Amino acid sequence: MPEAHSLKQLRAGIARASKRTGDPISAADKRRDYAAAKLEDYIKRVVDQAPPLTQDQQARLATLIRNGGGSDAAA
């Protein structure tokens, strides 16, 4: 799980890439990394609070992540 200062560092990296370098690709990459870190943090908190998942539940959730949130092709 990312620590608060790590998220702050990622946000600062977005600001630097946006303002100082003016590089939209670098800024977009940093925004993606920040969004992933926030999502990782959220998932960790939810999983820590939830009862243990079955292997089937874990597989369905993993499929969601692998497919970018889209539906499972086999469903």
pLDDT digits 0-9 by tens, 3-19: 556 888 888 887 777 77
What pLDDT band is residue 57 in, cutting at 50, 70 and 90? very high
- What's the rounded mean pLDDT across residues 22-44? 85
Q: Which residues contact 31 (CB under 8 A, 6 or more apart)?
A: 14
Query: What pLDDT shows up at residue 72?
Result: 52
Average pLDDT, the chain: 81
pTM summary value: 0.63
Q: Can you count the helices (H) and strands (E) in the chain? A: 3, 0
Check pLDDT > 50 for residue 75.
no
